[in-house]
């Protein structure tokens, strides 16, 4: 009898121990103190994405068939408004946010050619791929790779001195104020490139075909090796020139428009 009772007791203890990891798994997305783990997502009652926790330096990729407005914040959460349909997936290293466009779904209508608002941790590395609307980014302190078609790319007080910034559109303008980057590339076909830099980048390339290219650097900007070309327009600059300097280079090109580079 004693042996049978002990065996039964042992089975009960082992079963109870087996429940421990199961309970931990059901609390997925949180650590032992109840804090959200990086990449842990929360959804609304209808299954749409609402928020996820991201670490500083994480890479965030946003895709949309419309446009998007992105604002950097001081917390560690990626969030969208309740009216926005979104799908999120990833972990603390790379996270993808899709803003689908479905005319048959009222929640997705704001994504179709609109500018839904997304709030992100200010220190993320941000990639945005949009279409048929603009991209507006402010206060994101990381590397930027922003591209759209049939819309403007607008940047305010964003970027970082140590990263390359890539801003591209077609049939729209690229405009930036307070932009930081070790290297800056801005390109369009039909539109202007207008860049105001918060510090002097190592290299800057501004290219359009039908529009003007204007660059404003800080008042203490060093001399640059400058290559400014236009066909139907004029080129002006007040930035000192040093053709032998390979660490500071400006390349401004257009066909129908002006090029201008100046100290602010």
Q: Is residue 125 part of a domain?
A: no
Residues 217-244 have pLDDT tens digits of: 999 999 999 999 999 999 999 999 998 8
Residue 75 lies in a domain: no
pLDDT score for 14: 47
Task: Retrieve residue 195's tokens.
Answer: 């860049």
What tens digit of pLDDT does each residue of 106-142 get? 778 778 878 999 999 999 999 999 999 999 999 999 9
Look over the chain and give the mean of its residue pLDDT values, rounded to a whole number: 85
A 10 A CB-CB count for 9 gives 10
Under a CB-based contact definition with an 8 Å cutoff, are residues 61 and 94 in contact? yes
- On the question of pLDDT at 12 being above 60, the answer is no
Domain coverage including residue 10? 1-32
Residue 66 domain flag: no
| Residue-level pLDDT at 243 | 86
The confidence band for 18, taking pLDDT boundaries of 50, 70 and 90, is very low
Residue 18 lies in a domain: yes
- Residue 122, in any domain of the structure: no
45 pLDDT above the threshold of 80? no
Separation of alpha carbons 29 and 159, rounded Å? 30
Mean of the pLDDT values across residues 243-257? 94
In a domain, 147, yes or no: yes
Q: How many domains does the chain have?
A: 2
Summarize pLDDT for 73-99 with one digit per residue, the tens: 999 999 998 888 899 998 758 999 999
111 belongs to a structural domain: no
The burial class, CB within 10 Å (0-12 / 13-18 / 19+), for 219 is exposed
Q: Is residue 187 part of a domain?
A: yes
């Amino acid at each position: 009898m004693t042996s049978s009772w002990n065996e039964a007791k042992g089975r009960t203890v082992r079963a109870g121990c087996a429940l421990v990891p199961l309970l931990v798994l059901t609390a997925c997305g949180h650590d032992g103190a109840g804090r959200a783990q990086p990449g842990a997502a929360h959804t609304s009652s209808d299954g749409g994405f609402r928020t996820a926790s991201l670490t500083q330096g994480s890479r965030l990729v946003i895709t949309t068939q419309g446009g998007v407005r992105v604002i950097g914040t001081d917390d560690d959460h990626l969030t969208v408004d309740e009216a926005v349909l979104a799908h999120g997936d990833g972990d603390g290293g790379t996270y993808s946010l899709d803003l689908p466009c479905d005319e048959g779904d009222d929640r997705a209508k704001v994504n179709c050619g609109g500018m839904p608002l997304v709030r992100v941790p200010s220190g993320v590395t941000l990639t945005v791929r949009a279409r048929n609307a603009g991209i507006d980014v402010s206060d994101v302190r990381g590397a930027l790779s922003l591209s759209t078609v049939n819309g403007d790319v607008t940047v305010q007080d964003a970027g970082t001195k140590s990263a390359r910034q890539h801003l591209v559109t077609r049939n729209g303008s690229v405009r930036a104020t307070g932009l930081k980057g070790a290297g800056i590339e801005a390109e369009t076909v039909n539109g202007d490139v207008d860049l105001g830099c918060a510090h002097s980048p190592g290299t800057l390339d501004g290219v359009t075909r039908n529009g003007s290219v204007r660059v404003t650097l800080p008042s203490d900007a060093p001399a640059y090796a400058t290559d400014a070309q236009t066909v139907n327009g004029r080129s002006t600059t007040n930035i000192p020139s040093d053709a032998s300097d390979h660490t500071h280079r400006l390349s401004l090109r257009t066909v129908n428009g002006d090029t201008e580079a100046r100290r602010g």
